[in-house]
Structure 1
Amino acid sequence: MASNETPRQWLKRTAGRGARWTRLSVIAGTLSTLVLLVQAWCIATIAQRMVIDGADFSSLTLPLMLLPPAFIVRGLLIRGRTICSARGGIEIRQSVRRELLERIAVLGPFWARRQHSATLSNRVWDQVDALQGFYADYRPQMLLCGIIPLIILVAVAPLSWAAALILIATGPLIPMNMAMVGIGAKKRQEDQFQEMGRMSRHFLDTLQGLSTLKLFGISKHQAQEVHTASESFRRRTMRVLRLAFLSSTVLEFFASVSIALLALYLGFVYLGQFHFGMYDHGINLFIGLFILILAPEFYQPLRDLGVHYHAKAEAEAAAEDLMPILNRRVFERDTDQPAWQPEASIALTLEGLSARYAGRASPALDNVTFELHANEMLAVIGPSGAGKSTLLNVLMGFMHPEAGGVSIKEGTRPPRALTDIRPDDWQRQIAWVGQSTVIVSGTLADNLRLANDAASDDALLDALEQAALKHWFDALPDGLDTRLGEGGRAVSGGQARRIALARAFLREARLVLLDEPTASLDQASERLVMDALARLSSGRTVVLLTHRMELLALADRVLMMDQGRVRALDTLDALRAPQGPLARPAATDIPERRDV
């Protein structure tokens, strides 16, 4: 995927994902034009024979029999063309949205957390949807613009070279107008997308901070700010629509003038004023009516292309915003690496590990070196900015170091570098419990099976018991089928945290990563979580980020970090000894906010 790819090139390349539907749409449009030739012949023949030739009714049998089926077939072909175009657009949108979500998953939650959620949702939904008009309407129409006018010219030219010349001379007026409109349309569409993103972020921030705004008495002022942002978006949207409608009006004008010129020529021929543009056969009623019936269809593809031209500008603006994510380079590992499954508990060795955030001069981790023994619980402490969360992101594979590395030792096998293990294999061996537990909209069983989709109901019940949720579960009205999340049963912070622990039990992972698992909990909930943590850590290697002295007592060793470096690593008793770094009372005041 070329990094210097333009939005137009990306749109063209992506069109191949729905190429079969585009081909079917173009074939249906072409066939409908051929059927129109049959309709025009039937109508012109009936008029010529009835009005001019005075032929009897029997000579009209063939055109009269062909005309009704031609109308029906053409209607079906037009409908089929519309359906195929829409299906093609839907298939491409689904493919792009799937690729976008997969790319976000590859970039990982560490990257996603640094993006505004409203902006991400706007890209995944609104901007991907903005591609529909281009693939369903504009692109098939652009292909038909090279086919339908050519078919009509081939039909008209043998009858009157002057009529064909008028069509050829006036046809380019419509594309020229589209080009002029397109210059400003794309810029306005880009401005509208930016304004939509800004309004989405503003509105989401207001909703999330509504309690604070109410308490400080500025909610009405903020409502006015939201109104101002939405009004600005409305004005930009109206400018885009005004441009689209005005361009359609101009296209209709040029098409009408072109058809009028053709009709004027035919009229002067019939009046005997013009004697050019015809062959030896002249121009009778059949020829004139046949040409006039086909003339609107000659311009119709160009008019439709002009109507859908704003869809091209909208799609290019959307593509320009989507491409930075889709083309973003990520850390790549060899996809041919063999599958990895540890046979025993794992130990980790971090040697010279350094990591840096983009745009930051100082490293978040600076030459971090230590060993984490198998089945050991290591507590990590330090002030905000010490590098604790960065360490977890590296261990989870969401952030890649710029120097040093991590090696894994399990059983009697030789150590393996983390980069030699496929990310999926490694992350399957990790159980994660953070400060904020995600409760998805679904049943309790659905929420638990996020950790192990093959877990049986008995395994779910056992995990709930291990996480001290048996009493809470017994009170649920529908057991494992009780709905949680939006529209379902509410759960407290302590219950949510223990649901996360139940997931960790179901995971059956070798490495457990815990980020402030008792933060913001009351004393009773904290005690339950701590008891569950003690059971969870049995037979597993655990890394625990905490500021709670009670949790430090569970750890085998404590790692103290400061400014991305290892300050001390020893048992809690040794660190609290008279000469240890935690000996003084002030030194035990470990900050309560986690590293961000």
Structure 2
Amino acid sequence: MAQLPTVRQWLRATSRRAGPWQRLTVLAGTLSTLLLLVQAWAIATVAQRMVLDQAPLNTVLLPLALLPLAFAGRGLLAWLKTRAGARAGIAVRQSIRRELLERLAHLGPLWAQRQHSATLGNRIWDQVDALQSYHADFRPQTLLCATIPLVILAVVFPLNWAAGVILMVTGPLIPLNMIMVGFGARGRQEAQFVEMSRMSRHFLDTLRGLPTLKLFGISRRHADTVYEASENFRQRTMRVLRLAFLSSTALEFFSSVSIAILALYIGFSYLGQFHFGTWGHGIDLFTGLFLLILAPEFYQPLRDLGVHYHAKAEAEAAAEDLIPMLERPVAERQGAEPWQVPEALALRLHQVTGRYAGQRSPALKALDMTIEAGERLAVIGPSGSGKSTLLNILMGFMRLEEGALLARGDDGEETDIARLAPEQWQRSIAWVGQRPVILSGTLADNLRLADIEASEEALHEALNQADLGDWVARLPNGLATTLGDRGQPVSGGQARRIALARAFLRDAPLLLLDEPTASLDRDSEARVLAALERLCRGRTVIMLTHRLALLQLADRVLMLDQGRAVALDTLEALRTSGGPLATDTTREANHVRAFS
């Protein structure tokens, strides 16, 4: 297994995703320092010539003209530096967030279901956002700390070597203070992220279970648990902020003391107490004023770095949690074969065995069967019998532990699904589940999940096939009507038929159904059944159900129990004397419901 990168290696690598923006930030900061030299020269020259030399006004026209230009230029460069830094952070965040979502797609829904949704949301949003200040402010500032002080020292040393030595000796005091602060900041930031994740989980669980909590009269008691989690998060946040404020105070103290030492040296030199550091030329008003103007700017990059140092601790804490997910190895299917979606599709399951991660027993054991093209197969069984496992294997979400899943297309050749890329195989599948997802967006957006290039005519045709034509005609904006939050409310039956419309749009040869009529009233169930009858024509269908109405649509019924096939035959054969469903009508219905 490849070794995961360290936090610093990973952050350094992700900074490359900022493109030219970080380089532009550093360039703007460096140019601002060069304009500062012009500004300091102009101020010191005007003071020297007007106060001591008593030179005429025309001798200071050039520095007086350069001074406002330098001020305006530094202001413009400061805006450019801030703007470029923000764009660098945004570019990195967007890239990492896209990679996280792609990695979620690779890991699949089975892995995502084992994670708490609040924790995943915290990673994708809050922890990725925690990288903004690092790439927008801290990292460019570290590069400026390596350039700006060197530029100033290169100008100061030819004028006064003693002043240069003072700057060189006192400058490292600020980074040393930051290093000492950093030891505690990262640990506190990690604790804050853990507490944020805990608070998010509590809050989301409370929202989901609010009706149950109200009915049992314990909603107020559970609110105390959420309050406790939020209070712990507040306390940890205040500890992080307290450390950040204290570190800023220490940085200001060290920089102020360092500037004071330089000012004392210049003052005693003017009084004639110090006679060193001037290269034998003495020290005049121009030199002293020029040095005093540059001194704060020498320490300013280091002070700014200290101000943003908490961003480093915050980014490192976020990286600790993001690296295992982003760098998690994903099993790739080598040498994926070309796959053309056939018009008719048959399946052969050869000794198929599937096991969930961390489970001792297989969820599906040695399933061996053939499903012909155009056949309708119903799958029944009690909870935990392997129905959902079979569906996950067919959808390509779960890799086989043993056996093979083989597809036979129009040419009669069998293809092992394991040798196809998941996206290739999934193009041949249409799926309707018992809890269809309606995204916040227009009706057209929700339908085009199945076919992004579908025309409006195709959308209307799919809606008519799903018995939603009259409903769409009554919508205020037709296909452009917004569904979901702050949009058009959608009932359970309408959501189920929208999912059927997606399946019609998909027009795939393999149709997978997971309890498509569960929890529907009689009218909605009848509409869904009628649409399903149209949808199933000419397709290979595998449906998980316990409803007799759907069982009667099936050509054969597969009964699973504890991961094994216990029966596979037509519904009539299973109901004959001696068959698993050979009981009176009432007991038969109960028996079928028991296998759900």
Q: State the TM-score, normalizing by the size of structure 1.
A: 0.96
Counting matched residue pairs gives 594
TM superposition shift of 1:426: 1.5
Q: Which residue of 1 aligns with 2:212?
A: 212
- Tell me the distance in 1 between the aligned counterparts of 2:210 and 2:540: 41
Aligned identity (percent) is: 64
- Tell me the distance in 1 between the aligned counterparts of 2:279 and 2:416: 84
Farther-moved stretch of structure 1 (238-247 vs 274-283):
274-283
Secondary structure, counterpart of 1:321 in structure 2: helix
Cα deviation per residue 1:196-222 (whole Å; 9 max; x = unaligned)? 111111111111111111111111112
Mapped contact 1:384–1:591 kept (Cα < 8 A):
no
1:238 aligns with 2:244: no
Secondary structure, counterpart of 1:157 in structure 2: helix
Cα deviation per residue 1:264-308 (whole Å; 9 max; x = unaligned)? 111111111122222110111111111111000110000000110
1:544 aligns with 2:543: yes
Q: Which residue of 2 aligns with 1:142?
A: 142
Cα deviation per residue 1:159-178 (whole Å; 9 max; x = unaligned)? 11111111111111101110
1:21 aligns with 2:21: yes
Q: Which residue of 2 aligns with 1:284?
A: 284
Mapped contact 2:378–2:545 kept (Cα < 8 A):
yes
Distance 1:549 1:3, change over 3 A: farther
- Tell me the distance in 1 between the aligned counterparts of 2:523 and 2:457: 27
Secondary structure, counterpart of 1:352 in structure 2: strand
Cα deviation per residue 1:465-501 (whole Å; 9 max; x = unaligned)? 2222234334333332333211122121111111111
Q: Which residue of 1 aligns with 2:567?
A: 568
Counterpart of 1:377, as a letter, is R
Q: Which residue of 1 aligns with 2:303?
A: 303
Counterpart of 1:149, as a letter, is P
Farther-moved stretch of structure 1 (457-466 vs 470-479):
470-479
- Tell me the distance in 2 between the aligned counterparts of 1:436 and 1:594: 20
TM superposition shift of 1:435: 0.8
TM superposition shift of 1:80: 1.1
Alignment of 1:145-164 (within 5 A): 145-164=145-164
- Tell me the distance in 1 between the aligned counterparts of 2:230 and 2:71: 47
Secondary structure, counterpart of 2:476 in structure 1: coil
Distance 1:70 1:143, change over 3 A: same
Q: Which residue of 1 aligns with 2:273?
A: 273
Mapped contact 1:581–1:587 kept (Cα < 8 A):
no
Q: Which residue of 2 aligns with 1:171?
A: 171
TM superposition shift of 1:419: 2.0
User: Any stretches of 5+ residues in structure 2 without a counterpart?
Assistant: none
Mapped contact 1:331–1:400 kept (Cα < 8 A):
no
Alignment of 1:87-98 (within 5 A): 87-98=87-98
TM superposition shift of 1:461: 2.3
Counterpart of 1:549, as a letter, is L
Alignment of 1:323-362 (within 5 A): 323-334=323-334, 337=336, 339-362=338-361
Counterpart of 1:526, as a letter, is E
TM superposition shift of 1:81: 1.2
Alignment of 1:214-229 (within 5 A): 214-229=214-229
Q: Which residue of 2 aligns with 1:320?
A: 320
Q: Which residue of 2 aligns with 1:251?
A: 251
Farther-moved stretch of structure 1 (579-588 vs 301-310):
579-588
- Tell me the distance in 1 between the aligned counterparts of 2:522 and 2:177: 72
- Tell me the distance in 2 between the aligned counterparts of 1:64 and 1:473: 72
Counterpart of 1:223, as a letter, is A
Q: Which residue of 2 aligns with 1:375?
A: 374
Counterpart of 2:293, as a letter, is I
Alignment of 1:499-510 (within 5 A): 499-510=498-509
User: Any stretches of 5+ residues in structure 1 without a counterpart?
Assistant: none
Alignment of 1:5-44 (within 5 A): 5-44=5-44
- Tell me the distance in 2 between the aligned counterparts of 1:580 and 1:276: 109
Cα deviation per residue 1:419-463 (whole Å; 9 max; x = unaligned)? 222322221111110010111222222222221222222322222
- Tell me the distance in 1 between the aligned counterparts of 2:479 and 2:269: 84
TM superposition shift of 1:77: 1.4
Farther-moved stretch of structure 1 (123-132 vs 454-463):
454-463
1:459 aligns with 2:455: no
Mapped contact 1:375–1:539 kept (Cα < 8 A):
yes
- Tell me the distance in 2 between the aligned counterparts of 1:592 and 1:328: 41
Q: Which residue of 1 aligns with 2:389?
A: 390
Mapped contact 1:3–1:327 kept (Cα < 8 A):
no
Distance 1:258 1:351, change over 3 A: same
1:46 aligns with 2:37: no
- Tell me the distance in 1 between the aligned counterparts of 2:54 and 2:481: 82
- Tell me the distance in 2 between the aligned counterparts of 1:288 and 1:130: 43
Q: Which residue of 2 aligns with 1:110?
A: 110
Mapped contact 1:346–1:408 kept (Cα < 8 A):
yes
Secondary structure, counterpart of 2:513 in structure 1: strand
Secondary structure, counterpart of 2:266 in structure 1: helix
TM superposition shift of 1:365: 1.5
Q: Which residue of 1 aligns with 2:408?
A: 409
Cα deviation per residue 1:20-46 (whole Å; 9 max; x = unaligned)? 111111111111111111111111111
Secondary structure, counterpart of 2:159 in structure 1: coil
TM superposition shift of 1:331: 2.3
Distance 1:56 1:323, change over 3 A: same
Counterpart of 1:199, as a letter, is M
Farther-moved stretch of structure 1 (169-178 vs 420-429):
420-429
